[in-house]
């Protein structure tokens, strides 16, 4: 008998190909089907909040400007990474990141914990011209974002769509999306002015304000969870 039993399976190329295909397909389905019936495969970390209306717009601008091509948002669980960037990334902190922005390139540093690292005024100057802060930087200038006006006409609908996907926005938050975004933007501008930055009226309602709000939010919930021993 020996090992002869598998010869008939192998000696006919077509039969072997079809059997292999069937095995791969069944294996694929076994892995693919269960997640469709699960509510969520990842639990949000304690205290995780979805992005505010303004931060959500800032996030969309981050994607539009391609920041994720130079910046990752994922800290790997290695000492060299955690020493430099802070607590490593866990899946549960990114449940409200749709699409996720882990990224795979680091032309610039990782941004997963950049929230609170610098004052708003630092980001303001840095987005205007990174070389004013770091002469060797190759980060592009984003001067146009100080001119282009923030478009909030779709914010509420974006939040509604995200709610359908499981982001916990309340009716009230969706209804007041535009007002809330303007209010948070005014708070950013107030902090900028307190730091001595001159902000024109047009700049106060420009896209860069949303981008700064988004920057300041990155990693904040995870930092609080780690500090609270969670
Ligand atoms: C061509 C690559 C490139 C692009 C695109 C880019 N950056 Fe950068 N970024 C860098 C580099 C390099 C640095 C480090 C030097 C510096 O501070 O300017 C940096 C630094 C930063 C920092 C400071 C991080 C820290 O911890 O010190 C922030 C915040 C930042 N970038 C945000 C952004 C945002 C937001 C965008 C999109 C609007 C963006 N970057 C686009 C290359 C890039």
Task: Determine whether the shortest distance from the Cβ of 125 to ligand 1 is under 6 A.
Answer: no
The 10 Å Cβ neighbour count of residue 83 is 8
Ligand 1 centroid distance, CA of 192 (Å): 20
Q: Which atom of ligand 1 is nearest to the CA of 114?
A: 26
How confident is the model at residue 43, as a pLDDT? 87
Ligand 1, pocket-test mutation among 133, 139, 207, most atoms within 8 A of CB: 139
Q: Which atom of ligand 1 is nearest to the CA of 130?
A: 18
Task: Determine whether the shortest distance from the Cβ of 66 to ligand 1 is under 6 A.
Answer: yes
pLDDT beyond 80 at 40: no
Residue-wise pLDDT tens digits, 102-147:
999 999 999 999 999 999 999 999 999 999 999 999 999 999 999 9
pLDDT beyond 90 at 41: no
Ligand 1 centroid distance, CA of 200 (Å): 24
Q: Quote the CA–CA distance of 25 and 182 in Å, as a whole number.
A: 51
Residue 2 banded pLDDT, cuts 50, 70, 90: low
Residue-wise pLDDT tens digits, 84-107:
999 999 999 999 999 999 999 999
Task: Determine whether the shortest distance from the Cβ of 161 to ligand 1 is under 6 A.
Answer: no
Residue of minimum CA distance from atom 13 in ligand 1: 108
How confident is the model at residue 1, as a pLDDT? 57
CB 62 within 8 A of CB 101: yes
Residue of minimum CA distance from atom 5 in ligand 1: 67
Buried b (16+ CB within 10 A) or exposed e, 53-67: bbbbbbbbbbeebeb
CB 96 within 8 A of CB 44: yes
CB 220 within 8 A of CB 115: yes
CB 75 within 8 A of CB 110: yes
Of 194, 191, 189, the residue nearest 209 (C-alpha):
189
Instruction: Name the residue with higher pLDDT: 67 or 13.
Output: 67
pLDDT beyond 90 at 54: yes
Residue-wise pLDDT tens digits, 144-203:
999 999 999 999 999 999 999 999 999 999 999 999 999 999 999 999 999 999 999 999
What is the token pair recorded at 53?
Answer: 């209306």
How confident is the model at residue 104, as a pLDDT? 92
How confident is the model at residue 4, as a pLDDT? 81
Task: Determine whether the shortest distance from the Cβ of 146 to ligand 1 is under 6 A.
Answer: no
Residue 33 class from Cβ within 10 Å (0-12 exposed, 13-18 middle, 19+ buried)? exposed
Cα torsion for 142, 159, 69, 141, to the nearest 10°? 0
Cis peptide before 162 (omega within 30 of 0): no
Task: Determine whether the shortest distance from the Cβ of 63 to ligand 1 is under 6 A.
Answer: no
């Amino acid at each position: 008998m020996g090992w002869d039993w598998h010869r008939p399976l192998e000696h006919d190329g077509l039969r072997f190909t079809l059997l292999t295909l069937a095995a791969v397909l069944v294996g694929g389905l076994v892995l693919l089907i269960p997640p469709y019936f699960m509510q969520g495969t990842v639990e949000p970390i304690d205290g995780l909040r979805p992005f505010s209306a303004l931060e959500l717009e800032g996030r969309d601008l981050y994607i539009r400007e391609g920041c994720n091509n130079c910046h990752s948002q994922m800290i790997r669980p290695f000492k060299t990474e955690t020493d430099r960037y802070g607590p490593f990334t866990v899946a549960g902190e990114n449940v409200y990141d749709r699409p996720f922005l882990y990224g795979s390139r680091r032309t610039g540093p990782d941004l997963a914990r950049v929230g609170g690292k610098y004052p708003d005024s630092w980001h303001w100057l840095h987005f205007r011209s990174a070389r004013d802060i770091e002469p060797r930087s190759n980060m592009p200038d984003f001067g146009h974002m100080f001119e282009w006006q923030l478009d909030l006409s779709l914010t509420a609908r974006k939040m509604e769509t995200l709610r359908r996907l499981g982001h916990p926005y309340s009716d009230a938050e969706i209804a007041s999306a535009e007002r809330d975004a303007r209010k948070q933007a005014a708070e950013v501008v107030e902090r900028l002015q307190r730091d001595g930055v001159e902000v024109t009226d047009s700049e106060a309602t420009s896209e860069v304000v949303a981008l700064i709000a988004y920057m300041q939010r990155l990693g904040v919930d995870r930092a609080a969870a780690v500090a609270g021993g969670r």
